Structure 1
Amino acid sequence: MRESGGKTYDPPTEWSMENVEETLMTLAAFSKDGDLKKELYQFIEQFKFYEQKGVVTMSSVIAHIEERGRREGILEAEKQFLAEKKIWDLEKKDLTQESGEMLSTLVILAQKTMIELGCSAQNACAQLGYSDSICQKVLPFLIS
């Protein structure tokens, strides 16, 4: 809608369009917005193929174009989400593998310390300076 003096002009939604195709082609011709031109021409093509029910108004044309834009936006967002999820899943898999490798290394160090010092698993963890959370992960592999 055209803005003038801080007020917007909203035509009544019940006004019908007699020459839908010509009106939209005129809007597209004067528009500097490439996306709007594309949408208007696509609507014109659909308008030719689909039998319209009821009166066509500018409001119904805009509603149709906005709905199609929402659908396309949702599809694009879903594609982007799936692509990012795939990357995240691969990173998560790599982190899980790295975590397992680090845990194996900590267990081996604790086993060597137990053998060298002849101490218990908990003492070996303390000697190595493992935090309580690391000890909780390492001890099940040391005590069998």
Structure 2
Amino acid sequence: MRESGGKTYDPPTEWSMENMEETLMTLVAFSKDGDLKKALYQFIEQFKFYEQKGVVTMSSVIAHIEKRGRREAEKQFLAEKKSWSQEKKDLTQESGEMLFTLVILAQKTMIELGCSAQNACTQLGYSASICQKVLPFLN
């Protein structure tokens, strides 16, 4: 935007730009912005070799970059979601294994001391919440 006689001038976004690559290279050089550098490489990758996409405008370049960014964000989210699912599955399995171990310890204590399940949990120092999880397997 430029100021002209106190009024702001916005050039139309549909105007085609020649030398888009050079324009982006200049912006990258002056701004030292990593995201803009990525945008330059994306432009070169997508627009330079596919001239049939129509007139190249700054608006079309920005729209393309935003679309690509959304796709990359979606891919990253799906990868993280898959990772979270696996972590949840692993934690669920570990919880089950720990519960199994606590039940076995309580059973051994019951046999060795000849006491009830509740007393075995108390002897082992289980918290009330652990006792609630272990007792159903002992009765």
Given that residues 42 and 65 in structure 2 are in contact (C-alpha distance below 8 angstroms), is that contact kept between their aligned partners in structure 1? Answer: no
Given that residues 17 and 56 in structure 1 are in contact (C-alpha distance below 8 angstroms), is that contact kept between their aligned partners in structure 2? Answer: yes
Given that residues 17 and 56 in structure 2 are in contact (C-alpha distance below 8 angstroms), is that contact kept between their aligned partners in structure 1? Answer: yes
Given that residues 28 and 37 in structure 1 are in contact (C-alpha distance below 8 angstroms), is that contact kept between their aligned partners in structure 2? Answer: yes
Specify whether residues 113 and 2 from structure 1 end up closer, same or farther in structure 2 by C-alpha distance, changes over 3 A only.
Answer: farther
Report percent identity of matched pairs.
Answer: 92
State the aligned residue count: 139
Deviations 1:79-109 (A, max 9, x none): 1111001111111111111111100000000
Specify whether residues 113 and 53 from structure 1 end up closer, same or farther in structure 2 by C-alpha distance, changes over 3 A only.
Answer: closer
Deviation, 1:41, is: 12
Specify whether residues 7 and 40 from structure 1 end up closer, same or farther in structure 2 by C-alpha distance, changes over 3 A only.
Answer: farther
Specify whether residues 16 and 129 from structure 1 end up closer, same or farther in structure 2 by C-alpha distance, changes over 3 A only.
Answer: closer
Question: Structure 1 length as normaliser, TM-score?
Answer: 0.56
Larger Rg: 1
**What is the aligned-residue RMSD (CA, Å)?**
4.8
Deviations 1:20-54 (A, max 9, x none): 99999999999999988998999999999999999
Alpha-carbon distance in structure 2 between the residues aligned to 1:106 and 1:27: 64
Match of residue 23 from structure 1:
23
Given that residues 13 and 58 in structure 2 are in contact (C-alpha distance below 8 angstroms), is that contact kept between their aligned partners in structure 1? Answer: yes
Match of residue 93 from structure 1:
89
Unaligned runs of 5+ in 2: none
Deviations 1:104-125 (A, max 9, x none): 0000000011111111111110
Alpha-carbon distance in structure 2 between the residues aligned to 1:113 and 1:137: 17
Given that residues 113 and 124 in structure 1 are in contact (C-alpha distance below 8 angstroms), is that contact kept between their aligned partners in structure 2? Answer: yes
Given that residues 47 and 53 in structure 2 are in contact (C-alpha distance below 8 angstroms), is that contact kept between their aligned partners in structure 1? Answer: no
Question: Structure 2 length as normaliser, TM-score?
Answer: 0.57
Given that residues 122 and 135 in structure 1 are in contact (C-alpha distance below 8 angstroms), is that contact kept between their aligned partners in structure 2? Answer: yes
Alpha-carbon distance in structure 1 between the residues aligned to 2:113 and 2:24: 87
Specify whether residues 52 and 135 from structure 1 end up closer, same or farther in structure 2 by C-alpha distance, changes over 3 A only.
Answer: same
Specify whether residues 10 and 92 from structure 1 end up closer, same or farther in structure 2 by C-alpha distance, changes over 3 A only.
Answer: same
Match of residue 79 from structure 1:
75
Alpha-carbon distance in structure 2 between the residues aligned to 1:52 and 1:32: 31
